[in-house]
Structure 1
Amino acid sequence: MPELGNLGDTVQPLECRVALISADRQLASDWVNALNITAAQHENPFGLRFEAVDAGAAERLVREEDKLQALIVDAGTEAGGLAAAEALVDRLHGLRAQLNVFLMAQSVFGGEGGVVSVSVRQRFDELFDRREGNFNQMFRLVQAFIARRASTPFADTLKEYVFSARDAWHTPGHSGGDSLRNSPWVGDFYRFMGEHIFNTDLSVSVQVLDSLLEPHSVIQEAQDLAAQAFGAEHTFFLTNGTSTANKVVIQQILGGGGKIIVDQACHKSVHHAIVMNRCEPVYLKSTLHPEFGIYGPVQRADIEQALDAHGDASLLVITSCTYDGLRYDLEPIIEYAHERGVKVLVDEAWYAHGHFHSELRPTALECGADYVTQSTHKMLSAFSQASMIHVQDPDFDEFRFRENLNMHASTSPQYAMIASLDVARKQMAMEGYGRLKQCLQMVETLRKAVDDTGVFRALTREDLIPAPLADDNIRLDPTKVTIDISASGYSGKEMQIKLFDQYGIQVEKTTYNTVTVLVTLGSTESKLLRLIHALKQLARSARKRPHVGTPRRLPEFTRFTCLPADAYFADTEELPLMDNGALAEKQLIGRTSADEIVPYPPGIPVLVPGQEISAQIVQFLQQLLQGQNATEIHGLIFRSDEPMLRVVKEVVRKKQGKKSGVKD
């Protein structure tokens, strides 16, 4: 009987298909029959089922069969058979990198001592001789490799420990929820959250669960499996989010100072890391789409120019994909940086799913990035704050990296969060391709339905790419669906409220004339149906008078008067931002900001520490704070409800500017 999940849900029995690819029909038929008989006679928890296909049908099977988990590739007996088998596997792995692949050959040995070649070891999990007769052993080997990929070493150990029902005389203080369970005051919270949210909340005192900061057993095993799944040399789990991940990597490369080339529209954590590590930033200007107020990637020519002009830079930081789904053509950019001795960090916070479907590849790791940070929680099935750092830096110093990680990570990590990383990785390794295929099908259905309203329009890649980026081969992550609502007569904020209040739908983000929804692994047909229904209903009630609005362009980036760290930690004073408008402007122009000032959305800084304040910047911030729909701005200080900017005291700024070599 299948396991019961929620009411109306059932867990389907597992089925794993294994394809034997061979031009020798008789041999393939004999092997498949023998292996299927063996599978029927042994424990077969994964439901392994073997089938024979030729090379011509293999690509179609890999693209279309979601339940395919492994390939056995016959190299035959011809001299060129091994090379042909390797070329075939490369093509198929290009479509689905997670499949286990086994080589069937009569001879794959060469060189001194009959050692298997490096290329064979890199491409194939295990080798079978074509004259093999022990099908029991072959079946067990295939099953073992699939079982390894399907394992969750940390999550399983956590579950086993919880079910062992040990008495807790250690932190945390709620002691598995016992402090709340029978309380007349907070027992309702325990019942609302459920027992496992508490009894999985353990501490480093439980040695069997390993240590996130110094892993040697189940956490290290889980990280190794993640590295294999995502295509990295090393992977590290974080429970502080990708904000911490970015800070750790920047400290690894630039701890103590140095020059960093960075997209102005990068995540605020990168700007924070610049301050914390006393870096000298070279900011790259983001490209604004004037019609929709969406900030896109930096022009490739600007990146290359910065790399040429700053030969002493140590690190290039790029965000790909952006919040709106725009992806760089990373390979030529990374190659250009590496040719100049510059390491590359790619913030893939919004793109953890990219490696698991051919339409979304190549990822940053596949393009050669040294470090990649990912928010596993944003698009995959991990808990919020659960993130990963993937590393393939050839000069990687693992000991120093662990020390940098320890400086930022909590010594009391949330164990359920670590388990969710383990489980999220397993899901993508075992069914990521199929689940993403469903997502992409939902995207097509949604886009067509949006366009069919005649009022709303699902923006395409061509719509979203600003003109300056037309020749940069920018790509679009289709799981971010941005809808132009201009013809509806409503602003983005008004549409967001209507969807929430009238239809119970919460969207991801808005601009003045767009709303964006994410299609994730958790998107369902029912949710899709309700969203389409809501949009159709709202299209029928469109206003006759269209909403009039224009995107607010970020003011031009001004010069630095000192290093960001010098400004942030300097003696400062607070000056009013709104005081009679013109008077505030007069007082602030030419002063140096001590803080990062970030309107949200879109979350791109108008000012960073050390930057000179201009009249354009003051006027821009004043406009954001005026009217009924005032924009949220991070970094402002409020005194008696009056917004203030923290600026460097003049005498301090001049001294620091001379000391840092920045012209006054």
Structure 2
Amino acid sequence: MSNVENKKTQEMIGFYHQLNNKRQDTWVKLKKYTFHLSTSSRSSKGHNRLKKAVELSLTSLESIEDYTAFPSKEDFRYLWIQFEQKDYVGLTHSVAQIHYFLENGTYRRKDVDLSLSTTESKANLETDDENPNSIQGANNSRSRPYFEVLIVDDLLIDAENQLLNAMRTMRHHDDQFTYNTIVVPTFEDAIIAVLINPNIQACILRPSFPMKSKRNSGLITHVVAAIDEKLRKYVYNSKNQGSELGRLINYLRPELDLYMISDMAMETGNQDDDGYFKRVFYSENSNLDMHHSILGGIAERFDTPFFSALKKYSRKPTGIFHALPISRAKSIEKSNWIGDMLDFYGANIFLAETSTTSGGLDSLLQPKGPLKKAQEYASRAYGSRSSYFVTNGTSTANKIVVQALVQPGDIILVDRDCHKSHHYGMVLSGAHVKYLDSYPIHDLSIYGGVPLKEIKRNLLKYKKLGQLDRVKMLLLTNCTFDGVVYNVRQVMEECLAIKPDLVFLWDEAWFAFASFNPIYRTRTAMFSAASLTRRFKRTKYRKKYEAYQQQLAQVAPEEQTAWMLENKLVPNPDLARIRTYTTQSTHKTLTSLRQGSMIHIFDQDFRQKVESTFNEAYMTHTSTSPNYQILASLDIGRRQAELEGYEMVNKQLELSMTMRQSAYQSERLKKYFDVLVNKDLVPTEFRQSGVETYFNVDSGFSQMEEAWANDEFVVDPTRITVHIGKTGIDGNTFKDKYLMDKYGIQINKTSRNTILFMVNIGTSRSSIMYLLNCLYKTVNELEIRDEEMSPAERAIHQKRVTSLTKELPPLPDFSCFHGAFRPGKTLGSDEGDIRKAYFLSYDCQNYEYINLDNGELERAMQSGRELVSSTFIIPYPPGFPILVPGQVISQEILEYMKALDVTEIHGYNPELGLSVFTEQALNRLEQSTTAELVTITSIKDTTKSVRTAAKHKQKVPALK
């Protein structure tokens, strides 16, 4: 691609990322330009400038509106005719109408006729809106849901109009949904349409069509190449273009319903070997069949089995003779004191409150009806093989998965700065924990992710020790609180080359939304698991593995470990088993009531190895009285994710880009605030693409796809980390004093010198503007503060700034477990039995407190005593454990704790000091551990002797 073409492509990609905002803004500008043009004198100097502005705006909008149902191509032709005939008054009215209809969503509720005057149209619409019972009323909750159907067919204008009219006449007022149709002629146009038009919910494809679009070819080239270059080339060269286009659309937007119109038998054309198409229509099929199929496909995704069952139950007359007096608001209606509860919440929440599993409802612990079906729908939406609802948060989901898969003594590799629920899960399961260190960002007091080389090094070490069979699971956080995202597929692929049956648990508590965007999705666990499953079955991959084995065989045995650390590993497709689990906080990033979470499973061995233990773990941690409102919200939240998740996540991304761009380009904001970019959160060695930031002034946001396709770690741009060290105010104080107390802005993540803003699907454009306005007001306040400082105050302030920008304590690595808690120390491994340490502290005689402030702890360390923490020590911020039970306190950890200026440290009592195990308790434990090892060794030796004796029919030796 030439430099000119590349620049054009980058401009288009920047446009794509902020398409919704630019579309809205351009219609506003066009409305203003046409109004001024219609009222200006044609002889005035500004008249020609206004004509040029209108022409440019129409041209810009036409490149988008060609792929939307409203305004239609016919509408746009009408605008051009008015412009070319210099009917500027009529053009002004038409543009005002379209803008009004787009802003109010009118086109979703009724067909729009631009021939009506603006006044007549508004009057008619307002009349409809005033009727709450109108099926097309303005109340979106009562109007029929609207969507658009994409038809890919190279038709002449007359034929296209006939097709659109035919599809329109099939609509009926009794239909559950209503839709409009878009026709595009080429492969590239189809891809652009599904990417930029979130209203598209179904696609009808012909077997063949032209490939190249007459417009925006740079956009499709870059977008598809960024997702999968090989796939793009394959589609272009395919003889079955319709089938391959369906494959690609399924890759980009798997939620869409795909249909094929064919003149040849499927078995002849081999067009649907992967089942991407819901139905294939032939020339003899009527359009009515197609119409009903389209509506039926939408109905499948619209269906909410459990939410619908709960609504139906709430309308039944019942008598309550079981638990739950609040059911149907009986205990509230009769009350003289708590009637305001009913006033506040409304009646429906109590009508739907029940503890029964009968009457069309279902049991969460043994679902067989609507709840089972709702979970199957969730599995479809997230691409898992099975999914489970959890009503008490991802903390519980994490413990369920760990308990289901891990037995006491199994080794788990886990990132140390993961959520605390994982650490407690290790305690409950009895796992032997090998903590992995994430790369630190010392200047920000933030950890990133665990480098793949670090994971491979530990797996290879256990393999060398002959202990790899004990390594059961790799547990990582994707994405982290600060937005650092793994290359999930590469991590799993290379780890499976060392241990083919390794289980992966990806904590995606903050990443549930990622399944509904084509760029984000590629770094989710479920997508990666499905992708690897397909990849391992391909003949091409088997050849790749054979070539890898030949390459590895040429490396000297003593050098193989070093070689494997530096090179990409390829697993044996005959041995590798995909065993992947994901926990997601649906309530954090999608629509659900608080504590609504899900577990998604893609485990090839689940049925024969895990299902029974998973069910036991699920029942262990799940209430027998789950909150039905949470379950219903998970069900209906899934509907939203499938039908409009793509649109909402795109808007989320657009808004985050808008805020970032404003902050990057504002010199006033940069005086105190620095919005961090890729290079600030991901070191150079993990950015193979070389991309330092997704944004630059010349090309806009044009490099995100490149980074997400190639880098070991990337940053989610919707996580906006702001460095505030130059303010002289620590993160926690800034959050409380400047954001929450003054402006009501809520955030829940800070470090010593950063604050984190998270843009989600509920964030609005006005919210972004409000936040930026508040930051500008804060800048004004800080400038006044600095102007009024005395020399002494300025010196104190500068000292604070220095401490927050240059003198931050380095983040400590994990030290080690004390020998008493290292069951594998005789073999040379260093995992820890955290459960043993945790419960040892239940006896107060086993621990003591040592003061952190008076030098007592330093003196004890200098005397040679090995101090071992008896509890979790978690400073907040940053919120990760710097000490766990059984961990040796190192000098680096001590210095870090002393340098912390936070007041909230979980597990630490400043009045008593730091809780450590007594030397006597550790000595007793080491002696008992030694005795246990002797017993285990004796049993192993005896078992070996028994087997040998049985083989040679000798006398069995006595057990020592």
TM over 0.5: yes
Aligned-partner Cα distance in 1 for 2:631–2:724? 40
Unaligned runs of 5+ in 2: 1-127, 211-236, 463-467, 530-578, 689-710, 787-796, 822-832, 935-960
2:666 aligned with 1:460, yes or no? no
Cross-structure match for 1:92: 249
Per the TM alignment, residue 554 of structure 1 is displaced from its structure 2 partner at its CA by 3.5
SS of the counterpart of 2:847?
A: strand
1:370 to 570, 577, 580: 580
Query: Is contact 2:411-2:473 (8 Å) kept?
Result: yes
1:176 — aligned with what?
A: 328
Matched with 1:448 is: 661
Q: Distance in 2 between matches of 1:185 and 1:659?
A: 65
- Out of 132, 146, 151, which is 1:20 matched to? 151
- Distance in 2 separating the partners of 1:59 and 1:328: 27
Q: Does structure 1 residue 430 correspond to structure 2 residue 647?
A: no
Larger Rg, first or second structure (1 or 2): 2
Count of aligned pairs: 647
**Aligned residue for 1:566?**
836
Say whether 1:317 aligns with 2:482.
Answer: no
Matched residue SS, 2:310: helix
Q: 1:457 deviation in Å?
A: 2.3
Three-state SS of the structure 2 residue aligned to 1:392 is strand
Distance 2:675 2:447 in 1: 18
- Contact 2:445–2:811 (CA under 8 A) maintained in structure 1: no
- CA RMSD in angstroms comes to 2.9
Shift of 1:536: 0.6
For 2:277 and 2:931, how far apart are their aligned partners in 1? 58
Amino acid at match of 1:225: Y
The yes-or-no answer on 1:494 pairing with 2:733 is yes
Contact 1:181–1:191 at 8 Å: present in 2 too? no
Of 181, 187, 200, the residue aligned with 2:339 is 187
2:605 corresponds to which of 373, 377, 395 = 395
Which residue number in structure 2 is paired with residue 596 of structure 1? 872
Deviation at 1:519, TM superposition (A): 0.8
Following superposition, the deviation at residue 370 of structure 1 comes to 1.0
The more displaced of 337-346 and 530-539 is 337-346
The equivalent residue for 2:777 is 537
Alignment equivalent of 1:406, drawn from 616, 619, 643: 619
Query: Do the aligned partners of 1:172 and 1:202 also contact (CA within 8 Å) in 2?
Result: yes
- What is the letter of the counterpart of residue 46 of structure 1? F
**Secondary structure in 1 aligned to 2:328?**
coil
Letter in 2 for 1:321: C
Query: 1:107 — aligned with what?
Result: 264
**Paired residue type of 2:195:** R
- 174-183 or 116-125: bigger deviation: 116-125
User: How far 1:125 moved relative to its partner?
Assistant: 1.6
1:376 Cα deviation after fit: 0.3
| Distance change (3 Å), C-alpha of 1:31 and 1:10 | closer
Q: Which amino acid aligns with 1:503?
A: Y
Moved more, 167-176 or 431-440: 167-176
User: What does residue 439 of structure 1 align with?
Assistant: 652
- Partners of 1:302 and 1:290 in 2: how far apart? 19
Contact 1:287/1:296, CA 8 A, preserved across alignment:
yes
- Alpha-carbon spacing, 1:121–1:468, altered in 2? closer, same or farther (3 Å): closer
- Residue number among 629, 633, 645 corresponding to 2:905 in the alignment: 633
SS of equivalent to 1:282? strand
Larger mean Cα displacement after TM superposition, 405-414 or 177-186: 177-186
* Residue of structure 1 in register with 2:923 after alignment: 651
CA separation in 2, counterparts of 1:275 and 1:660?
20
- Establish whether residue 385 from structure 1 lines up as the match of residue 625 from structure 2: no
Measured in 2, the distance between the counterparts of 1:484 and 1:96 equals 36
What is the aligned-residue identity percentage?
Answer: 31
Q: Deviations over 1:41-74 (max 9, x none)?
A: 4633321222322223101111111211011122
Q: Does residue 266 of the first structure (1) align with residue 418 of the second (2)?
A: yes
Deviating more after overlay: 421-430 vs 400-409? 400-409
User: 2:486 touches 2:713 (CA, 8 Å); kept in 1?
Assistant: yes
Q: Distance in 2 between matches of 1:208 and 1:424?
A: 21
State whether residues 850 and 916 of structure 2, in contact with CA within 8 Å, keep that contact through their aligned partners in structure 1: no
8 Å CA contact 1:320, 1:328 repeated in 2 = yes
2:509 is matched with: 349
Answering whether residue 752 of structure 2 is matched by residue 512 of structure 1, we say yes
1:416 to 596, 619, 629: 629
In the TM superposition, residue 576 of structure 1 has moved relative to its aligned partner by 1.6
Shift of 1:541: 2.1
Structure 2 equivalent of residue 142 of structure 1: 294
Aligned position for 1:158:
310
What letter is aligned with 1:565?
R
Segment of structure 1 superposing worse, 355-364 or 530-539:
355-364
Q: Which residue of 2 aligns with 1:35?
A: 167
**Residues 582 and 77 of structure 1: is their aligned pair in 2 closer, same or farther, counting only changes over 3 Å?**
closer
Distance 1:536 1:192, change over 3 A: same
Q: In 2, distance between residues paired with 1:659 and 1:228?
A: 52
Following the alignment from structure 1 to structure 2, what is the Cα–Cα distance between the partners of residues 250 and 659? Answer: 29
Q: Would the aligned equivalents of 2:867 and 2:916 in 1 still touch at CA under 8 Å? A: no
Q: Report which of the two has the higher share of helix.
A: 2
Match of 1:44 among 156, 175, 191: 175
Q: Where do 5+ consecutive residues of structure 1 fail to align?
A: none
TM-score normalised to structure 1 length: 0.90
Contact 1:574 1:646 in 2 (8 A): yes
Greater alpha carbon shift after TM alignment, 385-394 vs 470-479: 470-479
Residue 47 to residue 92, structure 1, CA distance change in 2 (3 Å):
same
Asked if residue 210 in structure 1 is aligned to residue 426 in structure 2, the reply is no
**Alignment match, 1:358:** 518
Name the aligned partner's letter for residue 92 of structure 1. I
Q: CA-to-partner distance for each residue in 1:608-663, whole Å, 9 max, x for gaps?
A: 22322334434544554xx6x41x2223468xx5345253722342135436769x
The CA distance in 2 between the partners of 1:413 and 1:109, in whole Å, is 47
Relative to structure 1, the CA distance from residue 615 to residue 426 in structure 2 (aligned partners, 3 Å threshold; closer, same or farther) is same
Secondary structure of residue in 2 paired with 1:249: helix
The CA distance in 1 between the partners of 2:928 and 2:306, in whole Å, is: 50
Q: Distance in 2 between matches of 1:88 and 1:659?
A: 66
Greater shift in the superposed pair: 18-27 or 327-336: 18-27
1:581 to 846, 854, 874: 854
